[in-house]
């Protein structure tokens, strides 16, 4: 991270950078996130930490299977968006808190929807690939049986 921009290699790295940005935001401006009406940044952090192993595993398996990196690109962009927003929140004045809390809530909502969509698409793609492999194996078995006669 330099001058507010983020350059990442993969979704795991982007997720780690977002977790770091959350920790920095809670450390640098704790009063914003501790009030009753404030956005629950600790909850977002907890969610991200709980899904981190699965996100990294998904990325690793995609790499091993030769799947396009673009499949997880929306997550990387969403993490970068979160990092940028958290950096802005670190410098917020008291009269702008409500607007940033609303932006953080909108980020959290859109992140949840995006993650849900990506997981559904990944699951459907995985199932289709498994069916394709089973079909190919079945065809090979049939071909072997046909040739042996």
- Could you read off the pLDDT of 42-62 as tens digits, one per residue? 889 999 999 999 999 989 988
Statement: the pTM of the whole predicted model exceeds 0.85: no
In a domain, 148, yes or no: no
Per-residue confidence (pLDDT) for residue 4, from 0 to 100: 45
Question: Which residues, including other chains, have CB under 8 Å from residue 141's CB and lie 6 or more apart?
Answer: none
- Residue 23 tokens, joined: 């920790």
At residue 10, does pLDDT exceed 60? yes
Measure the CA–CA gap between 145 and 134, rounded to whole angstroms: 16
In a domain, 140, yes or no: no
In a domain, 118, yes or no: yes
In a domain, 25, yes or no: yes
Higher pLDDT, 85 or 95: 85
Per-residue confidence (pLDDT) for residue 7, from 0 to 100: 44
When pLDDT is averaged across residues 103-126 and rounded to a whole number, the result is 92
In a domain, 132, yes or no: no
What residue numbers bound the domain in which 70 lies?
A: 11-123
Q: Is the dihedral of CA 84, 90, 93, 98 positive or negative?
A: positive
- The string of DSSP codes covering 6-46 is ---SSHHHHHHHHHHHHHHHHHH-HHHHHSTTS--HHHHHH
In a domain, 47, yes or no: yes
In a domain, 44, yes or no: yes
At residue 2, does pLDDT exceed 50? no
The tally of CA atoms less than 13 A away on the side-chain side of residue 65 is 16
Q: How many domains does the chain have?
A: 1
Per-residue confidence (pLDDT) for residue 145, from 0 to 100: 64
- Residue 38 tokens, joined: 């404030």
The values of phi and psi at residue 37, to 5°, are: -90, 5
- Could you read off the pLDDT of 128-144 as tens digits, one per residue? 888 888 887 776 665 56
In a domain, 3, yes or no: no
* Residue-averaged pLDDT of the chain: 83
């Amino acid at each position: 991270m330099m001058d507010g921009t983020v350059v990442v290699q993969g979704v795991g790295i982007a997720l780690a950078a977002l977790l770091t940005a959350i920790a920095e935001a809670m450390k640098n401006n704790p009063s914003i996130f501790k009030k009753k009406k404030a956005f629950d940044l600790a909850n977002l952090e907890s969610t991200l930490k709980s899904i981190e192993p699965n996100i990294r595993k998904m990325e690793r398996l995609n790499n091993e299977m030769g799947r396009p990196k673009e499949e997880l690109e929306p997550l990387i962009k969403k993490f970068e968006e979160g990092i940028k927003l958290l950096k802005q929140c670190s410098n917020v004045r008291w009269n702008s808190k409500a607007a940033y809390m609303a932006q953080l809530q909108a980020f959290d909502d859109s992140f949840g929807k995006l993650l849900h969509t990506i997981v559904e698409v990944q699951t459907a793609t995985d199932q289709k690939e498994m069916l394709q492999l089973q079909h190919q194996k079945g065809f090979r078995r049939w071909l072997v049986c046909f040739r042996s006669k």
